[in-house]
Structure 1
Amino acid sequence: MKSSGTRTRSTLELAGFLLVLVAALGAQAEPPSSKLPGRNPDSKEPWGAFLGKVAHEVIGMEYRVQRSSNRVFLNTISLSKIVEEGKLGDPERLSSLVRLLRPDITDTDALVLFEVKPDNEEGRMEGREQAGRYLAALNKAVEPDKKLAGGTGFEGSLFLEFENGGALWQLSWRTPEPGVTLYRWSYRRKKPHASWKERAAQKEEELPREEIEQRGELAEQAIRGAYEGGERPKGFQGQVYLPVDCR
């Protein structure tokens, strides 16, 4: 019995050591915390993912503004609800594998769909694959006269000015092929006493990491406030120039 107890303790100690080792290795494999203002300090979400979510939200809101009379579903709504609430057909025709999928933008009046991805070749290929998958699933469930297709002609740009003559952020998007909308964030350097349009004409640069860490959450709040007509977020002294201002 004593020998058995010793083996049991040894086994438990070994198991505990292995669990600690696996946890340590897993922690090293996770992406670094983005440390954006106001976010959970324990968050492991990289800053690129955070700005990607902001881009999805903004582009969806802008589509709704441009098509205000249409029924538009964004990426919080499943295929099943889109078919049902958009009065397209019978959601029961959707397989259990696809009914919970959520396209980025679905316009059930214009009968078009968009997937929003970063503006690079990988994003374009992923957007093409996902848009095709969503369209194939939807078109098996909708009525013959309500078939959907990939949307086209959707593009735009907005700017954030954090202070007069200061750094300028830009979010732009384009739809180079049906159903695939690609976005990119960019940056313009400070130029005192210059208008935002003069600075927008400067050379486009990659958005610096320190800018994202310092102003990432503020940018999201400022853009949301501009679209929703709310108050400016605390600490934001600049302006948001929406696509209608950039034309």
Structure 2
Amino acid sequence: MKNSGTRMRSTLGLAGFLLVLMAALGAQAEPPSSKLPGRKPDSKEPWGAFLGKAAHFAIGRAYRVQHPSRVVFLDTVDLYRIVEKGKLGDPERLPELVRLLRPDITDTYALVLFELKPDNEESRGEGREQAGRYLAALNKAVEPDKKLVGGTGFEGSLFLEFENGGALWQLSWRTPEPGVTLYRWSYRRKKPHASWKERAAQKEEELPREEIEQRGELAEQAIRAAYDGGEWPKGFQGQVYLPVDCR
């Protein structure tokens, strides 16, 4: 009985150790949580998620602004509704497993599709694979004369100026291959008494982590306000220069 009790305590002790170890490793793997205003204190969303959401929102809206007369679906609309509402064919021909997939930009007038990804080789490969999957699924359901292809020639940029003369952020995007649009964020240092266009001509730098942590959520909110015409987020004392301003 004594040996059995000892073995039981050892087993429990080992299990407890493993649980603690797993929790510690999990905590290291988790992205830092945001403590910016308006977010839940226990949120675990990574800082970079704000920039990804802001990029998808801005680039999708920029495409719509460039093509105001076209029927354009963004990433809130799934394949089933794209085929149905875009009058492309019979949505029931879509396999069940793909009906809820949501491409980033689908233009059912020009019959083109774009998948948005960060500008690096790994993400570019993922974008190519996803765009190919969406196109294959769609083209099995649409009419023969309404087959879609990967879009090309889509590029642009916008700038965020903080504190009317502070740091300048840039979001730029390009489409290096059909259906894959790559975006990147960059940074220009402060330059007192210079216009945003003069500062935009400065050396482009990688966006510092401390800038992302401090202003990531604010940047997303400001971009949404600029496109939707809503109220500027509290604490934002700068300007958003949309693609039309950057030409």
Length-normalised TM-score, structure 1: 0.90
Q: Is the 8 A contact 1:38 1:217 kept in 2?
A: no
Distance 1:63 1:241 in 2: 16
Aligned to 1:156: 156
Aligned to 2:121: 121
Q: How many residues align?
A: 247
Aligned to 2:56: 56
Distance 2:9 2:190 in 1: 65
Structural mapping, 1:196-215, within 5 Å:
196-215=196-215
Distance 1:35 1:126 in 2: 31
Structural mapping, 1:103-118, within 5 Å:
103-118=103-118
Distance 2:62 2:224 in 1: 11
Displacement of 1:103 = 0.5
Q: Is the 8 A contact 1:164 1:192 kept in 2?
A: no
1:199–1:165 Cα change, 3 Å: same
Displacement of 1:48 = 1.9
Distance 2:95 2:83 in 1: 13
Amino acid at match of 1:198: E
Task: Structure 2: give runs of 5+ residues left out of the alignment.
Answer: none
Distance 1:225 1:100 in 2: 28
Percentage identity across paired residues of the two chains: 88
Q: Is the 8 A contact 1:139 1:147 kept in 2?
A: yes
Distance 1:82 1:45 in 2: 29
Distance 1:246 1:18 in 2: 55
Displacement of 1:112 = 0.5
Q: Tell me the alpha carbon deviations over residues 160-194 of structure 1, each in whole angstroms, 9 at most, x when there is no partner.
A: 11123221000000111110000000000000010
Q: Is the 8 A contact 2:169 2:185 kept in 1?
A: yes
Distance 2:29 2:217 in 1: 25
The reply on whether 1:243 has 2:243 as its aligned counterpart is: yes
Aligned to 1:187: 187
Amino acid at match of 1:217: E
Q: Is the 8 A contact 1:35 1:213 kept in 2?
A: no
Q: Tell me the alpha carbon deviations over residues 93-135 of structure 1, each in whole angstroms, 9 at most, x when there is no partner.
A: 1111211111111111111100000011112111111101100
Q: CA RMSD in A?
A: 2.3
Distance 1:22 1:121 in 2: 32
Task: Structure 1: give runs of 5+ residues left out of the alignment.
Answer: none
Amino acid at match of 1:99: R
Q: Is the 8 A contact 1:61 1:227 kept in 2?
A: yes
Displacement of 1:25 = 3.5
The reply on whether 1:85 has 2:64 as its aligned counterpart is: no
